[in-house]
Structure 1
Amino acid sequence: MTFRENANIGAGRASRGGGGGGGLAVGGGIGTLLLALVVMLFGGDPGAILGGGQQTQQGSTQGGDLDECTSGADANENVDCRMKATMLSLEDYWTSAYPEADPTSATLFSGSVDTGCGQASSAVGPFYCPLDRKIYLDTSFFSQLESQLGSDGGNFSQMYVLAHEYGHHVQNNTGALQASQQDRQGPESGAVRVELQADCFAGAWAGNATRTRDSDGNLLLEPLSREDIESALSAAAAVGDDSIQERMQGQVTPHTWTHGSSEQRMGWFMRGYESGDPNQCDVLNAGSVDDY
Structure 2
Amino acid sequence: MTFDPNADISGGRVRRRGRTAGIAAGGVGLGAVVILLVSQLLGVDLTGLVGGDASGGTQQIGTGDQAVDCTTGAEANASVDCRMKGAAASLEAYWSSAAPQLGATYSSPEFILFDGQTGTGCGSATSAVGPFYCPPDRTLYVDTGFFDELRSRFGASGGPLAEMYVVAHEWGHHIQNIGGIMEQHSGRETGPASDSVRTELQADCFAGSWAGAASSTDDPSGRPFLEPITDEQIADALSAAAAVGDDRIQQASTGRVDPEGWTHGSAEQRQRWFTTGFRQGAAACDTFAVPASRL
User: What TM-score, normalized to structure 1?
Assistant: 0.86
Q: 1:154 to 1:120 in 2, by over 3 A?
A: same
SS of alignment partner, residue 64 of structure 1? strand
1:105 corresponds to 2:110: yes
Please name the residue that 2:250 is paired with: 245
Please name the residue that 1:2 is paired with: 2
On the 8 A contact 1:60/1:111 being kept in 2, the answer is: no
On the 8 A contact 1:47/1:117 being kept in 2, the answer is: no
On the 8 A contact 1:43/1:177 being kept in 2, the answer is: no
Cα deviation code 1:100-146 (max 9, x no counterpart)? 12121210001111211111111111000110111011000011111
On the 8 A contact 1:43/1:129 being kept in 2, the answer is: no
Please name the residue that 1:27 is paired with: none
Please name the residue that 2:279 is paired with: 274
Q: In the aligned structure 1, how far is the partner of 2:138 from the partner of 2:64?
A: 21
Cα deviation code 1:207-241 (max 9, x no counterpart)? 10011122333211011101111111000000000
Unaligned runs of at least 5 residues, structure 1:
25-35, 53-57
Q: 1:114 to 1:13 in 2, by over 3 A?
A: same
Please name the residue that 2:14 is paired with: 14
1:64 corresponds to 2:66: yes
Please name the residue that 1:73 is paired with: 74
Per the TM alignment, residue 40 of structure 1 is displaced from its structure 2 partner at its CA by 3.6
Report the AA paired with residue 105 of structure 1: E
Cα deviation code 1:46-82 (max 9, x no counterpart)? 8546479xxxxx9988521111x12111111111110
Please name the residue that 2:288 is paired with: 284
SS of alignment partner, residue 247 of structure 2? helix
1:197 corresponds to 2:202: yes
Q: In the aligned structure 1, how far is the partner of 2:246 from the partner of 2:184?
A: 18
| Count of aligned pairs between the two proteins | 271
On the 8 A contact 2:23/2:119 being kept in 1, the answer is: no
Q: RMSD of the TM alignment (CA)?
A: 2.6
User: What TM-score, normalized to structure 2?
Assistant: 0.85
Q: 1:43 to 1:95 in 2, by over 3 A?
A: farther
Please name the residue that 1:116 is paired with: 121
What percent of counterpart residues are identical? Answer: 50
